[in-house]
């Protein structure tokens, strides 16, 4: 006879939610490792409890556990992709349940905590707090989640690299999204995940995309195509605060504060503040009309590539390398009324100098001779 989750908890099949919870707590106290119990039995009990909370009568069979395992191996890449697609589907189902659960609590203005996923899928804990915030603990690996309130997260966000069908997409329709101490905890968003903070700020850590070559779909020998999983962070009415932004990433916000930008990164904002020493390899900075841009570090030869560029809304493009050599004294006086604040060799890039949209539109405009010849510090 197949053992059910009710059997594992030692309760009847008609047990109420309270009786299920009490049965779990009784056995958890008995088998928890802190009490000297059997850790494997405790895991079995805990999984049975989580299954019953979502109405699942029987535990996974060995075949189901294999099907849901995080990493598959096989004789071919096609086999790996096929099996991992199943994983993405299962995770997406769990996140759909999570969204429905969190939404119901939000509408009722109630608090609760619940685990989603499993040991094999990967567990993620959601808690709806009294202030309306949703706490997420664990790694978000696939599927969609929309929440009408702030989200506080402890864990990484990734997306399936083998398919875009179950792409991770988190939508915060009201409030901020924040990682808890992202730099200290080294949290990251990666692999083509999308985070959309509709009316608030996104406080995140490192952001990575992914780009790789695959064999030509038609089977031509020696011919490859490039596939990319561009990670996107969007906060159109707020601010994005990030650390390193690397390899096929897009950021779009009213204000962006970041450290380094490397390898096919596109950012767009009205106010952009960059504190690192690297802007390299196909970086594109889109400055919105009437916006401003500030670099707080000067760049070494290795830290700035010639293809890094700034684009304005009117279509004008400026190489960042040209701004690095453009001296403040050579700017029109109307953009820098008091040039006595700067040394004569100071350039537009570095030391937090404010570069405005209008300044970039009129880079060729010359200063008046009397405005700079004797005004600069020596």
User: What mean pLDDT do residues 205-226 have?
Assistant: 77
Is the residue at 192 inside a domain?
Answer: yes
| Residue indicated by tokens 């019953």 | 52
Instruction: Evaluate whether residue 378 is within a structural domain.
Output: no
Residue 140 has pLDDT above 90, yes or no: yes
Whether 375 shows a pLDDT value over 70: the answer reads: no
Please tell me whether residues 282 and 319 are part of one structural domain: yes
Residue 1 has what pLDDT? 53
Predicted local distance difference test score (pLDDT) of residue 195 = 98
Give the model's pLDDT for residue 372.
47
Q: Quick: pLDDT tens for 218-261.
A: 767 667 777 788 999 999 999 999 999 999 999 999 999 999 99
Residue 108's CB is within 10 A of a number of other CB atoms, namely: 10
Distance separating alpha carbons of residues 257 and 242, to the nearest angstrom? 6
Is residue 13 domain-shared with residue 160, that is, in the same domain? no
Same structural domain, 25 and 102: no
Q: How confident is the model at residue 53 (pLDDT cuts 50, 70, 90)?
A: confident
**25: in domain:** yes
Whether 85 and 50 share a structural domain: no
In a domain, 92, yes or no: yes
What are the structure tokens assigned to 302, written together?
Answer: 């290795």
DSSP state at residue 351: T
Nearest to 255 by CA among 205, 307, 294, 210: 294
Count of domains observed in the chain: 2
Domain edge (last residue) among 15, 31, 59? 59
Q: Which residue has the tokens 């700079």?
A: 372
* Residue whose C-alpha is closest to residue 251's, from 303, 189, 306: 189
Q: Is residue 377 part of a domain?
A: no
Q: Which of 55-64, 191-200, 218-227, 258-267 has the least mean pLDDT? A: 55-64
- Position 373 scores a pLDDT of 47
* pLDDT at position 61 over 60: no
The 3-state DSSP class for residue 90 equals helix
Which of 114-123, 258-267, 316-325, 358-367 has the least mean pLDDT?
114-123
Report pTM.
0.76
CATH number at residue 39: 1.10.287.110
In this structure, the answer to whether residues 131 and 246 fall within a common structural domain is yes
Give the percent of the chain with pLDDT over 70. 85
User: Phi/psi zone of residue 281: left (φ > 0), alpha (ψ -120 to 50 degrees), beta?
Assistant: left
Query: Angle of helix 39-53 relative to helix 17-31, nearest 10 degrees?
Result: 170
pLDDT tier for residue 66 given thresholds of 50, 70 and 90: very low
Q: Are residues 224 and 157 in the same domain?
A: yes
Task: Say whether both 49 and 149 belong to one domain.
Answer: no
* 227 shares its domain with 366: yes
Residue 69 confidence (pLDDT) above 60: no
On whether residue 264 sits in a domain, the answer given is yes
* 142 in the same domain as 52: no
Same domain, 156 and 30: no
Shared domain for 46 and 87, answered yes or no, is no
Q: Which domain holds residue 217?
A: 77-372
Give a yes or no: residue 222 inside a domain: yes
* Least confident segment among 33-47, 164-178, 294-308: 33-47
More confident residue, 75 or 237: 237
- Quick one: average pLDDT of 74-97? 71
The average pLDDT across 211-217 equals 71
Strand partners, 285: 267, 310
């Amino acid at each position: 006879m197949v053992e059910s989750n009710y059997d594992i908890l030692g309760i009847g099949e008609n047990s109420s939610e309270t009786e299920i919870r009490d049965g779990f707590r009784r056995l958890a106290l008995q088998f928890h490792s802190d009490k000297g119990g059997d850790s494997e039995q405790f895991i079995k009990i805990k999984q049975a409890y989580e299954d019953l909370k979502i109405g699942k009568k029987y535990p996974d069979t060995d075949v189901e556990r294999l099907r849901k395992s995080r990493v598959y191996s096989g004789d071919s890449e096609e086999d790996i992709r096929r099996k991992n697609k199943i994983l993405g589907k299962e995770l997406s189902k769990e996140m759909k349940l999570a969204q429905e659960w969190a939404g119901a609590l939000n509408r009722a203005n109630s608090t609760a905590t619940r685990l989603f996923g499993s040991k094999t899928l990967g567990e993620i804990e959601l808690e709806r707090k009294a202030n309306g915030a949703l706490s997420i603990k664990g790694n978000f690996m696939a599927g969609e989640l929309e929440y009408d309130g702030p989200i506080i997260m402890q864990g990484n966000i990734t997306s399936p690299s083998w398919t875009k069908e179950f792409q991770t997409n988190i939508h915060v329709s009201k409030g901020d999204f924040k990682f808890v101490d992202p730099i200290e905890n080294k949290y990251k968003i990666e692999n083509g995940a999308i985070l959309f903070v509709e009316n608030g700020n996104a406080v995140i850590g490192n952001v990575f995309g992914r780009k790789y070559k695959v064999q030509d779909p038609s089977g031509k020998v020696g011919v490859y195509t490039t596939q990319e999983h561009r990670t996107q962070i969007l906060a159109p009415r707020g601010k994005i605060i990030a650390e390193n932004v690397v390899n096929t990433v897009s950021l779009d916000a009213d204000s962006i504060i970041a450290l380094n930008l490397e390898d096919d990164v596109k950012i767009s904002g009205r106010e952009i503040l960059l504190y690192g020493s690297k802007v390299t390899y196909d970086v594109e900075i889109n400055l919105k009309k009437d916006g401003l841009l500030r670099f707080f570090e000067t760049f070494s030869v290795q830290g700035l590539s010639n293809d890094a560029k700034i684009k304005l809304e009117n279509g004008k493009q400026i190489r960042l390398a040209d701004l690095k050599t453009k001296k403040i004294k050579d700017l029109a006086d109307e953009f820098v009324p008091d040039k006595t604040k700067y040394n004569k060799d100071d350039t537009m890039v570095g030391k937090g100098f404010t570069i405005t949209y209008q300044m970039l539109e009129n880079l060729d405009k010359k200063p008046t001779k009397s405005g700079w010849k004797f005004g600069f510090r020596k």
